[in-house]
Structure 1
Amino acid sequence: MDIAVSVKNLTKKYKLYEDKWGPIKEVVSKKKLHNEFLALKDVSIDFPKGESIGVLGKNGSGKSTLLKIITGIAEPTAGTVTVNGSLVFLDVSSGIDSELSGYENIFMKGILLGYTKEEMLEKVEDIIEFSELGEFINQPVKNYSSGMKSKLGFAISVNVNPDILIVDEALAVGDSHFREKCMNKMNDFKREGKTIIFVSHDKNAVESFCSKAAWIHKGELITYGDSKFVGSMYNDFMSGKKTLEGILSEIKFIHEIEHVVMDHSHSGLNMTLQGYLYDTKGPDENDFNLIVRDDRTGEFISKPLIRGQHHPDIKEKGRFSVQISEEEFPGFFKPGRFSIQAGYVNECGEPIEFPLWAGQVKFQDEVTEIQNVYNYTIKRDQNRLFMTVENFDKVQQQINHIWFDQHILNIEGVAFVRGYETPADDTVAMNLHLVNLESFEEFVYPAVIRETEEITENQSFNPQGKNYNFSKFEVTLDTNEIPDGKYECKLSYHMKKVPGHKLMVLVWASKSENYPQEPYVHNRRAIDVQTATKYLQIELRNNS
Structure 2
Amino acid sequence: IAALLELGAGFNPEFTGRDNILLNAAILGYPREKIENKIDKVIEFSELEDFIDQPIKTYSSGMYARLAFSVAIHVEPEILIVDEALAVGDARFVAKCMRRINEIRDSGATIIFVSHDISSIRTLCDRVLWLDKGKMIDIGEVFPITSKYMEYMFKEDEDIETVANPNPPQDVMEKVEKGLDDRPSSHWGSNIGIIKYAAIQDSTGTKTDLVSWGQDVRVKVRYQLTESISTQDLVIAFSIKDLKGNDILVATHRNELKDDTKLQERSIEFSFRNYLAPGRYLLVATVEKRNNTD
Matched, 1:200 2:119: no
Q: Select the structure of larger CA radius of gyration.
A: 1
Conserved in 2, the CA contact under 8 Å of 1:98 and 1:141?
Answer: yes
How far off its partner does 1:117 sit? 1.9
Matched, 1:165 2:89: no
Report what 1:322 is aligned to. Answer: none
Question: Greater relative contact order (Cα 8 A, min sep 6): structure 1 or 2?
Answer: 2
2:162 corresponds to which of 240, 246, 253: 246
How far off its partner does 1:103 sit? 0.8
Report what 1:275 is aligned to. Answer: none
Conserved in 2, the CA contact under 8 Å of 1:297 and 1:437?
Answer: no
The answer to which of 137-146 and 221-230 deviates more is: 137-146
Conserved in 1, the CA contact under 8 Å of 2:125 and 2:142?
Answer: yes
Structure with bigger helix share is: 2
In the comparison of the two structures, how many residue pairs are matched? 218
Report what 1:508 is aligned to. Answer: none
Report what 1:349 is aligned to. Answer: none
Q: Please give the residue correspondences for 1:408-419 in structure 2 after superposition, counting only pairs within 5 Å.
A: none
Q: Please give the residue correspondences for 1:38-57 in structure 2 after superposition, counting only pairs within 5 Å.
A: none
Query: Structure 1's 237 and 288: CA in aligned 2 closer, same or farther, altered over 3 A?
Result: closer
Structure with bigger strand share is: 1
How far off its partner does 1:297 sit? 9.1
Residues in 1 aligned to 2:208 and 2:159: alpha-carbon distance in whole angstroms? 22
1:437 corresponds to which of 221, 225, 228: 228
CA RMSD of aligned residues (A): 4.2
Q: Please give the residue correspondences for 1:321-470 in structure 2 after superposition, counting only pairs within 5 Å.
A: 337-339=195-197, 388=222, 436-437=227-228
1:183 corresponds to which of 79, 98, 108: 98
How far off its partner does 1:170 sit? 1.7
Residues in 2 aligned to 1:148 and 1:177: alpha-carbon distance in whole angstroms? 14
Conserved in 2, the CA contact under 8 Å of 1:293 and 1:299?
Answer: no
Residues in 2 aligned to 1:138 and 1:154: alpha-carbon distance in whole angstroms? 18
Kindly provide the amino acid, as one letter, of the partner of residue 95 in structure 1. Answer: G
Conserved in 2, the CA contact under 8 Å of 1:215 and 1:221?
Answer: yes
Kindly provide the amino acid, as one letter, of the partner of residue 163 in structure 2. Answer: I
Kindly provide the amino acid, as one letter, of the partner of residue 162 in structure 2. Answer: G
How far off its partner does 1:290 sit? 4.8
Matched, 1:228 2:86: no
Report what 1:126 is aligned to. Answer: 41
Of all paired residues, the percent bearing the same amino acid is: 34
Conserved in 2, the CA contact under 8 Å of 1:171 and 1:183?
Answer: no
Residues in 1 aligned to 2:190 and 2:53: alpha-carbon distance in whole angstroms? 64
Conserved in 2, the CA contact under 8 Å of 1:492 and 1:503?
Answer: no
Query: Structure 1's 339 and 152: CA in aligned 2 closer, same or farther, altered over 3 A?
Result: same
How far off its partner does 1:236 sit? 0.7
Query: Structure 1's 299 and 110: CA in aligned 2 closer, same or farther, altered over 3 A?
Result: closer
Report what 1:218 is aligned to. Answer: 133
Residues in 2 aligned to 1:95 and 1:197: alpha-carbon distance in whole angstroms? 19
Residues in 2 aligned to 1:503 and 1:169: alpha-carbon distance in whole angstroms? 45
Matched, 1:109 2:24: yes
Residues in 1 aligned to 2:90 and 2:170: alpha-carbon distance in whole angstroms? 54
1:344-378: CA deviation from partner (whole Å, max 9, x where unpaired): xxxxxxxxxxxxxx9xxxxxxx765xxxxxxxxxx
* Corresponding residue SS for 1:240: coil
Conserved in 1, the CA contact under 8 Å of 2:46 and 2:66?
Answer: yes
Conserved in 2, the CA contact under 8 Å of 1:106 and 1:124?
Answer: yes
How far off its partner does 1:299 sit? 9.3
How far off its partner does 1:149 sit? 2.2
- Structure 1 runs (4+) deviating above 3 angstroms are 241-245, 285-300
Conserved in 1, the CA contact under 8 Å of 2:128 and 2:142?
Answer: yes
Query: Structure 1's 105 and 247: CA in aligned 2 closer, same or farther, altered over 3 A?
Result: same
1:277-308: CA deviation from partner (whole Å, max 9, x where unpaired): xxxxxxxx9679954489999597xxxxxxxx
Report what 1:53 is aligned to. Answer: none
Residues in 2 aligned to 1:188 and 1:161: alpha-carbon distance in whole angstroms? 11
Query: Structure 1's 388 and 133: CA in aligned 2 closer, same or farther, altered over 3 A?
Result: same
Matched, 1:490 2:259: yes
Query: Structure 1's 181 and 503: CA in aligned 2 closer, same or farther, altered over 3 A?
Result: closer
Residues in 2 aligned to 1:299 and 1:239: alpha-carbon distance in whole angstroms? 11
Query: Structure 1's 121 and 236: CA in aligned 2 closer, same or farther, altered over 3 A?
Result: same
Query: Structure 1's 380 and 151: CA in aligned 2 closer, same or farther, altered over 3 A?
Result: same
Conserved in 2, the CA contact under 8 Å of 1:337 and 1:387?
Answer: yes
Report what 2:274 is aligned to. Answer: none
Matched, 1:88 2:18: no
